C-alpha cells in the first residue's frame, strides 16, 4: 500500500461537519480555538450551529473547510503512523494539503483563505458571474463550446473551463449573460463531433471561480501570500495549476496564487497521483465528492477512504495500521 491524501473544495461543506471529531479529540478542539482566534470568527458556531446558507458564503466556507480537513488529517496522524507519499487538494483544498504536509503554517492558511473568500466574492458584482457543469463533453469539445458562444452570441464577457473534475464532467465559469445564452442556444449538432448526451447543470455559486474574472482576487492575494513563509513539504503536493508534484516552496506559493484564476486540473492531478504509485488515498474533509471523481477518473486503481464519522475513522485507522505493518515487514526482509 502506498498512501496519499486528497482534500475537498467548496461545495463539500455542510452544517455539522467535523462535530464527531470535535466531541472526541482535544487536539481538534484546540484547532477550532486557534482558527477562530486567528480570524476572530466563531468557527465552531458556523460549522455546527449556523445555517447552510451562512456556511455556504465563500468567506465562511473556505476557512471552515480548511479547518475540518486539517482536523481529520491531524486526528489520523495522532492515531496511526500515517506517512503519505503525496497529496492534492481541490481548489481551496490545496491549502489543507500544504498545511498538513508542513509547507504552510495553519494560522497563516486560515488567515489567507478567509481573505481569499472575501477577495473572490468581491471580484465580480453579485449576479454578473456564474458557473455551469457540463456533462458528456470532452475538454476539446468544451473549448469548442466556449469559442462558439463568444463568437456567435456577440456578447462581451468571459466563458472558460474552470474545473476538469472527471472524464465527461467539466465546469464552465464566466459571465452570467454568456452562460444563459449557451443554455438557451446550444445544440449538440453544433459540435464538430456531436455527442449524444450533453447536459448543462447551473451551479448555485455566488461568483465565477477559477476563470479570468478572478484576476482582481488573484492580484489582491499575491502580496498577502508573498508575505507568508512556505517550507518544503514532507511529500509532493500535486497542484491544481500544474498537475505536477511540487516540493519547491517558491513554486508552491506561486501556483497557489495563480490557482485563483486558473482551471482546476483535477483529472490530471489524480492521474499524476496514480503515476506516482499511490494505491490508497484518504479523503480528509467533509463529504465524499472526491471519492466519486477519483472513481470516474482511475476506477479501482486508487482506493479511497472517507472519514465522516467515528465508524469511518476506525476503518481508516485500521487500514493505515495494516499498511504500515506490511511496509515494516518488507523493510525487514
How much is the pLDDT for 322? 85
Task: Note the pLDDT of residue 333.
Answer: 45
Assign 326 to helix, strand or coil.
helix
CA 14 from chain center: how many Å? 15
Nearest Cα to 193, choosing from 126, 235, 270, 141? 141
Between CA 294 and CA 320 the distance in angstroms is 19
Domain range list for the chain:
3-123+213-332, 129-205
pLDDT at 7: 98
What per-residue confidence (pLDDT) applies to 137?
Answer: 95
| Higher-confidence position of 326 and 309 | 309
pLDDT in tens, 220-235: 999 999 999 999 999 9
Q: What is the pTM of this model?
A: 0.94
Residues 6+ apart with CB under 8 A from 332: none
Strands 3-7 and 280-283: parallel
The residue among 285, 283, 281 whose CA lies nearest residue 18 is 285
| pLDDT reading at 330 higher than 70 | no
Q: Give me the mean pLDDT over the 143-157 stretch.
A: 94
Mean pLDDT along residues 251-258: 98
DSSP characters over 161-180: EEEEEETTEEEEEEEHHHHH
Residues 129-205, CATH architecture: 2-Layer Sandwich (3.30)
Query: Has residue 316 got a pLDDT over 80?
Result: yes
> pLDDT-derived band of residue 175, with 50, 70 and 90 as boundaries?
very high
CB 134 within 8 A of CB 171: yes
pLDDT band at 87 (very low <50, low <70, confident <90, very high): very high
The correct CATH number of 3-123+213-332 out of 3.90.550.10, 3.40.630.30, 3.40.366.10, 3.40.50.300 is 3.40.366.10
- The catalytic residues are 91, 210
Amino acid at each position: 500500500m502506498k498512501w496519499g491524501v486528497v482534500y475537498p473544495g467548496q461545495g463539500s461543506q455542510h452544517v455539522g461537519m467535523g462535530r464527531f471529531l470535535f466531541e472526541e479529540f482535544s487536539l481538534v478542539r484546540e484547532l477550532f480555538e486557534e482558527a477562530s482566534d486567528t480570524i476572530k470568527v466563531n468557527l465552531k458556531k458556523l460549522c455546527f450551529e449556523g445555517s447552510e446558507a451562512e456556511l455556504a458564503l465563500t468567506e465562511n466556507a473556505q476557512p471552515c473547510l480548511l479547518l475540518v480537513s486539517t482536523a481529520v488529517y491531524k486526528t489520523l496522524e495522532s492515531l496511526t503512523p500515517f506517512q503519505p507519499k503525496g497529496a492534492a487538494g481541490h481548489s481551496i483544498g490545496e491549502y489543507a494539503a500544504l498545511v498538513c504536509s508542513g509547507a504552510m503554517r495553519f494560522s497563516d492558511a486560515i488567515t489567507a483563505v478567509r481573505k481569499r473568500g472575501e477577495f473572490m466574492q468581491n471580484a465580480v458584482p453579485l449576479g454578473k458571474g456564474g458557473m455551469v457543469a457540463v456533462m458528456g463533453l470532452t475538454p476539446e469539445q468544451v473549448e469548442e463550446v466556449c469559442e462558439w458562444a463568444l463568437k456567435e452570441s456577440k456578447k462581451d464577457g468571459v466563458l472558460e473551463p474552470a474545473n476538469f473534475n472527471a472524464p465527461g464532467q467539466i465546469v464552465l465559469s464566466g459571465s452570467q449573460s454568456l452562460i444563459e445564452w449557451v443554455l438557451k442556444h446550444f445544440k449538440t449538432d453544433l459540435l464538430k463531433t456531436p455527442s449524444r448526451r450533453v447536459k448543462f447543470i447551473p451551479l448555485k455559486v455566488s461568483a465565477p471561480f477559477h476563470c479570468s474574472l478572478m484576476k482582481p482576487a488573484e492580484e489582491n492575494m499575491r502580496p498577502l501570500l508573498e508575505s507568508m513563509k512556505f517550507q518544503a513539504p514532507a511529500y509532493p503536493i500535486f497542484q491544481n495549476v500544474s498537475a505536477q508534484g511540487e516540493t519547491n516552496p517558491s513554486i508552491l506559493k506561486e501556483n497557489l496564487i495563480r490557482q485563483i484564476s486558473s482551471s482546476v486540473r483535477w483529472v490530471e492531478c489524480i492521474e499524476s497521483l496514480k503515476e506516482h504509485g499511490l494505491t490508497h488515498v484518504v479523503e480528509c474533509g467533509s463529504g465524499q465528492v472526491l471519492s466519486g471523481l477519483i472513481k470516474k477518473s482511475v476506477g479501482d486503481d486508487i482506493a479511497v477512504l472517507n472519514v465522516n464519522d467515528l465508524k469511518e475513522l476506525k476503518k481508516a485507522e485500521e487500514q493505515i495500521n495494516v499498511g504500515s505493518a506490511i511496509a515494516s515487514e518488507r523493510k525487514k526482509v
